[in-house]
Amino acid sequence: MIESQVIEKIQDWAGCTIQKQKSVSGGSIAKTDLIRLEDGRTCLLKTGSEHSDGFFKEANGLKEIRKTACIRTPEVYLSDEKFLLMEYIEQGRKDDLFFVRFGEQLANLHSRTSLKFGFKENNYIGSTPQLNMPNNSEAESWVDFYYNKRLLYQYKLAEKNQLVGNELKNGFLVLENRIEEILEGSEEKPCLLHGDLWGGNYLCDLNSNPVLIDPAVYYGHRETDLAMTKLFGGFASDFYHSYRKHKPLPQGYDYRENIYLLYHVLNHLNLFGSSYYGQAVRLVWSYLH
């Protein structure tokens, strides 16, 4: 059941009552309901996050992407520490050009740049805190930002969770000394990232346009978004061809892909446990042979 306080806030905003509510499948972090208002409007409601600021953060990420007008995201209607009310986007069928459009639109999103790495606030990657507030060196250096705010943070969290064995520990110590060498040659301006771009975080609307959902935004290196798409098998080849056509990648992207996958695999290790340990070890040691 939706809390009475949440219902009251929604009805105040809508100017009418909620006629129907229906639970729908969504992510593992929050409860998702389809809300039908008395005036016929349909909205999507997310409740039940374990983080008191989680819905604010997601709302701000959606707004950050939406204001670029590069790629569709649900419009945010209302949010506070208890809920997020947003546009309901009915899903359609992917036509033959869906992934071509997706690749081009993501390339356009990645053309929105910033002077510094990070973001105006910390947010979440799944239910794990994601640190986006850099110190001076991290704001200017992608190597510093990525190592400290992404890899090292997740590694220390895994240590705290007693998920780090000797293979990962020894490999990570060597990786620390090689991170500059691994990322050398890929220097670019910080660009706007979705931050958690796997197959479950995009939709296809009725006009066969891509829609981004559940972001973990920050300004970083675009190769991290592209690497994340590969974590569970990758997107259609047209997506990558279209992206590269509109925004060619620096030489050595394939070599750097594992270092960017490592962040997400370490996060999955922390979220879901030791089933991701072997993959984390393999990614670390792929740079140590």
From residue 172, alpha-carbon distances to 151, 156, 177, 235, 284 in Å are 9, 11, 9, 29, 7
CA distance 114 to 137: 15
Return the DSSP state at 274: G
Burial of 12 (0-12, 13-18, 19+ CB in 10 A): exposed
Catalytic residues: 196
CA distance 62 to 90: 17
Residue by residue, DSSP assigns 124-193 as EETTEEE-----HHHHH-HHHHIIIIIIIHHHHHHHHTT---HHHHHHHHHHHHHHHHHHTT-----EEE
Give me the amino acid identity at 231: L
CA distance 245 to 239: 10
CA distance 15 to 37: 9
Give me the amino acid identity at 63: K
Residue 35 and residue 44 in contact, taking contact as beta carbons nearer than 8 Å: yes
**Residue among 130, 161, 139, 163 at smallest CA distance from 60:** 130
